[in-house]
Structure 1
């Protein structure tokens, strides 16, 4: 397959994302395209739209049922550009607690850590890279949280319907505040629909997941 003869959307489909069910219950490819659409609606530009399309292409701390090999980073860079690929890469490999921690860091001091299973290394972020990352990360969650909250997901510790609303609640709220504009408005709109019965729930961590063996 000559991937450079494909559009980014065609590439995502060709590598099999349409055969994998995402955490939210949709097909993985449908979720990727939906996050891309959210970012288009927010008018953050083509780079972040493509980062949204590829936001979990290498697998993430919260979703490992599909993992394009990190050995293919150069291919992805050539396909979508370095800015979009770096954002997607960070979203995939980061230990999310380190993203939540750096939300309070001053300008010029943002950094995250990769998870131990993908190297455990520090990744320093420019202010633009930090903004890119929280924009895509927030769009990803807002696109799916209502579907997640409508069901039980034992892998994430959500044993009752509605539990997903509390996942890293304060971190997502802070991301929305930092971004402002359409991202914050979407956050307010989505979370205004949360029932009162779950608004006390707060889960600050991401449980460890079992990797899928079918790496590409």
Structure 2
């Protein structure tokens, strides 16, 4: 049985972790019997209510809201006739998901013609999904694979739902349950366990900045149509931290959109009041925030990489003189600006639109070789 650290190492390298012996044969049969006797399926559940109108079969054991970050372990313990579910969770909690909290616990089912659609479970950092397949048997001709895609939106894994198999992946990855084939005589059944790894020190480390940003309204301003600007800023800074960016670049990540940008037009702090930002993060980080606001990026960065490859800075630098707001920017700041752009695109799941930036990220170790972000 792989422990948590091993599992995260596998996810970092491959994007997912697969376990075929997660449950003992006896516990698997007990769980299958519980489903047969106690689960009454309802139709219409949707993986993403905003983007998808078509549903699938579902049974929710603890009725937690999508995106929940609340620990629902006690609700699971209190379920009537739910002893086997508790056994499964406690085994996962002691092994594969050590250090995790339970945030959702439900089951999905698919029949022929009931398709799953690509979606993201949770963009919040440190959230994971484990899918446990419960059919007594499965044949490759029946299809029904779970597909997982990397930051380039390339499908890199297709996991066949073999009995007792479990697949664990970061909740921020695109994935989908593919339809079973017309030859499939069975209901494809899986138990979905969503968990939250106890957070690192990012929020504590950036606490002062989060408090300041909240006072500017960043916590209330919608960004990307699905989260607050503050969430996006913290997510970007966290990605920069995980991918080895310097302190100034990480701090720039916490503020990179506050002056507005060419695609995000809300002004949180006017650029004329940049002294406030300098006071919070210093001049080196603030000028990166200013460059992020003023330059026509990410297009200008992508084009420089396309034109000159590893010598992209030499191509881009002469263009900077056209921007009087960036007179204090130095040539060696541009590498930090590209790292910042990479993190911004990854946080918004938009890196696939600029593959040359993604290829640069793989070459410089910000992504794994097969296009996954280190957790």
Q: Which residue of 1 aligns with 2:361?
A: 176
Mapping for residues 122-133 of structure 1, pairs under 5 Å: 123=326, 126-133=330-337
Q: CA deviation at 1:186?
A: 8.6
| Residue 72 to residue 26, structure 1, CA distance change in 2 (3 Å) | same
Q: Which residue of 1 aligns with 2:261?
A: 60
Q: Which runs of 5+ in 2 are unaligned?
A: 1-206
* Residue aligned with 2:227, SS: coil
Q: CA deviation at 1:12?
A: 1.1
Mapping for residues 171-210 of structure 1, pairs under 5 Å: 171-177=356-362, 180-181=364-365, 183-185=366-368, 188-189=371-372
Q: Which runs of 5+ in 1 are unaligned?
A: 1-5, 115-119, 146-163, 191-216
Structure 1 residue 80 and structure 2 residue 281: aligned? yes
Cα separation, 1, equivalents of 2:249 and 2:335: 10
Structure 1 segments (4+ residues) deviating >6 Å: none
Q: CA deviation at 1:98?
A: 2.5
Greater per-residue strand proportion: 2
Structure 1 residue 15 and structure 2 residue 219: aligned? no
| Residue 187 to residue 19, structure 1, CA distance change in 2 (3 Å) | farther
Q: Which residue of 1 aligns with 2:304?
A: 102
Deviates more, 1:47-56 or 1:35-44: 35-44
* Residue aligned with 1:188, SS: coil
| Residue 64 to residue 166, structure 1, CA distance change in 2 (3 Å) | same
| Residue 45 to residue 165, structure 1, CA distance change in 2 (3 Å) | closer
Greater per-residue helix proportion: 1
* Residue aligned with 1:56, SS: coil
Q: CA deviation at 1:102?
A: 2.7
TM-score (norm 1): 0.63
2:251–2:281 contact (8 Å) kept in structure 1 = yes
Q: Which of 1 and 2 has higher RCO (CA within 8 Å, sep 6+)?
A: 1
Q: Which has the larger radius of gyration?
A: 2
TM-score (norm 2): 0.38
Q: CA RMSD in A?
A: 3.0
